Amino acid sequence: MTLHQGAIFAGYAIQRVIGVGGMGTVYLARHPRLPMDVALKVLSADLGRDPAARAYFEREAEIAARLQHPNIVRVHDRGTEGDHLWIAMDYVDGPDIGQVLRDGPLAAEVAVEVIAQAADGLDHAHRRGVLHRDVKPANLLTTAVRQRRHVYLTDFGIARSLDDTTTVTTSVRATFAYAAPELLTGHPLDRRADVYALGATLYRLLTDTVPYPRDTLAAVLHAHLHQTPPQATSCRPDLPAGVDRVIATAMAKDPADRYPTCTALAEAAVTALRESATLPAPRPLPDSPPLPAPQPLPDSRPLPAPPAVPASPSTDAGQTIAGQTDAGQTNAGQTNAGQTDAGPAAATTPPPGCPPMDGSWDTPTAPAPPPSREPTEPPVPQAKSPAITRRRLLSALGIVAPVAAVATAVVLLTQEDSSGRSDAPGQRDAPRAGSRLRTVLTGHTGLVHDVRFSPDGALVATASFDKSARLWDVGAGGPAGEPLTGHTDRVRSVAFAPDGATLATTSADTTARLWDVRTGRPLGEPLSDAAGSINAVAFAPDGVLLATAGSDSLIRLRGVDSRQQVGAPLHGHTAAVNAVAFSPDGTMLASAGFDMTVRLWDVRTRRQLGAPFLGHTDRVRTVIFSPDASLLATTGADGTARIWDTGTHRQLGDAIPGHTGGVRAVAFAPDGATLASGGDDGTVRLWDVTTRRQLGEPLTGHTDAVYAVTFSPDGRLLATTGSDATLRLWEPAV
């Protein structure tokens, strides 16, 4: 059955065919009740009569609908019309990255930004127990939302590559060009399979060549299993050597040797990229309409095995594609517009010795015919800042073609492989007895990464990935002045000076800034002597020193008045430093980092005090002193919070469990008896410091990971922020 323009199907007005695949057809259609277009995927009648195919089609829609994230295409509805099952999802009016690559490899900074946004979406899926398994350029769409360039993770095949036990079967339709070795051998999969594919995708974006271009499928599989990951610098001599190390780590044969998360891969790529002083200018991406609001999340049930689907020639080793192919083959209803470079771009022809990329390397099949070319809209002007910013980077993607955004290719992870996040109804009904949510403050448009109270408790400062910091009036329950803007990349941390008159912020743009709290104006020029993102900042209790730390693994102490660095940087961590904190008396500084260690420093001598604190099994995210400085509390991506004795450097008791997923934030109450923590599961939990037992039920309300928690100076309020872009003020029962 083929529906024609003007036909009404399940209430949707058909506009045209977008793509045809082995399981059905994708249409551009008008929603029957809302003023919006959707991509309507209709299962063929033959498969609609197959119970296994029906169950798989329905279940995949349910799983995809759980993933409500800015970087993931959303499913809005599903249903049955006669023998035909259908799914309605976001229609993204823009190209996929595979199409963009027809004009050559991406500028390095653009490629890294695409990977960063894809990583955000993938880690969100992983936190909900969902593994993508088909990460590749064709499954990354680009468009603009409210003038912000955006990347969306999607999938264009309903037939799954693997069954629900995550082993290879005879019905494999995988994109082997990006497949992790364990996917090919039938070993159990976890999120690191997606890390591998994302690393392979980064290589493709930088070189316009798949990692292992071979003439036969057997040769491709052998390379993934046995050959060393390729070096992007062999194709792109302009790239820093660190990029090769990032790709090699992401594509390590043993999953244990890879980055633990996709975000860790993206952050490493950003750091590596900043080793280069000169980068090609990106190409512009035209604006596109905004997407509709997200829908409620359904529950979760086991995923049935996929039905067998007849193979059809495509660029994905036999994968049936609905909408398009990775090599750039345009299906019915798709057009591709040309583009005009706004400036110098990455080379479109690989240097000698670099394998050619004509669309055929994704599989040993013949290349698709070249797409048609049409004039494009005028390019969006580039941002002038040289920093690696999302607004600038995603302006690089410069061709427009309507693409049917189809639900993400997914599989439920086992409990030990996922973060255990549960979205069952009723889990987020109300805070624990005795605690009360006082207010929810909105205004940021991106993840809110840090939060701090002013010394008098009258103000709250927040740092956001929307490149701004904000001040909030606690009494009035609203913003205190305009946003603090000036950073050109994600703002990662904030800190008030002890007198409350100055605010410090740090950013992924490699700078720290000081602000006048009363006027909201910057104080002097930005402070910048770091080689990468500055992740953390803290004022000494006397207000004389400012500590900063970041992705270059160094900690710097600076005179607040002189703005000059005091002595050499503190060197000990072997990877990025995520957090720093002064002891209440100012004599010690604590730091925590990606190397899974916590370290203590003598502020006067700038020497490390004793051995590192060891115990976390994944990167340490936060560190904080107790009010009397006798204890340290830390949180990690290993899903635990830990309490340490600062005198002996030993952990006190067992690790504090509770959160289902990583623990991102921790804070002592002013009396030192209670600890608050926030995690990837979207909850805030209160703990008895002495017994390390949870106090009551979790505080719920955040709709995604909680990134920061802090108590007011009098302990009467608890502020929390997270990736849902909100600031929440609670009255905790402590």
The letter for the amino acid at 156 is: F
**DSSP conformation class of 724:** T
d(CA 471, CA 504): 12
Helix (H, G, I), strand (E, B) or coil at 728: strand
Run of H or E including 469: strand 468-473
134 is a catalytic site residue: yes
* Beta-carbon contacts of residue 729 (< 8 Å; ≥ 6 apart): 437, 438, 439, 440, 441, 460, 474, 477, 717, 718, 719
* Beta-carbon contacts of residue 49 (< 8 Å; ≥ 6 apart): 83
d(CA 12, CA 42): 12
Run of H or E including 534: strand 534-539
Per the CB < 8 A criterion, the answer to whether 444 and 466 are in contact is yes
The letter for the amino acid at 641 is: A
Q: What are phi and psi of 111, to 5 degrees?
A: -60, -45
**596 φψ region: left (φ > 0), alpha (ψ -120 to 50), beta (else):** left
Which residue's structure tokens are 């006190």? 652
Dihedral sign, CA of 721, 727, 732, 734?
A: positive
d(CA 627, CA 402): 57
Burial of residue 618, with CB atoms counted within 10 A of its CB: 0-12 exposed, 13-18 middle, 19 or more buried: middle
d(CA 323, CA 177): 19
Which residue's structure tokens are 């063929």? 44
d(CA 381, CA 342): 7
Which residue's structure tokens are 């799914």? 87
**266 φψ region: left (φ > 0), alpha (ψ -120 to 50), beta (else):** alpha
Q: What are phi and psi of 51, to 5 degrees?
A: -55, -40
d(CA 284, CA 68): 27
d(CA 3, CA 9): 8
Give me the helix-helix angle, 108-127 and 192-207, nearest 10°.
Answer: 160
**DSSP conformation class of 350:** P
C-alpha 702: how far from its chain's center? 17
Which residue among the candidates 77, 90, 103, 134 is catalytic per the annotation?
134
The dihedral formed by the CA atoms of 482, 488, 491 and 494, expressed in degrees to the nearest 10 = -60
d(CA 155, CA 336): 19
Find the radius of gyration of the CA atoms of the chain. 26
136 annotated among ligand-binding-site residues: no
Number of CB atoms found within 10 A of residue 302's CB: 7
C-alpha 612: how far from its chain's center? 29
Beta pairing, strands 459-464 & 706-711:
unpaired
State the maximum Cα–Cα separation within the chain, in Å, rounded to a whole number: 78
Structure tokens at 534: 């500055």
Structure tokens at 122: 């993938």
Dihedral sign, CA of 560, 709, 460, 149?
A: positive
* Beta-carbon contacts of residue 655 (< 8 Å; ≥ 6 apart): 615, 640, 641, 642
Neighbouring-strand partners of residue 667: 676
Q: Which residues are annotated as a binding site?
A: 41
Instruction: Return the active site residues.
Output: 134
Q: Which residues are annotated as a binding site for ATP?
A: 41
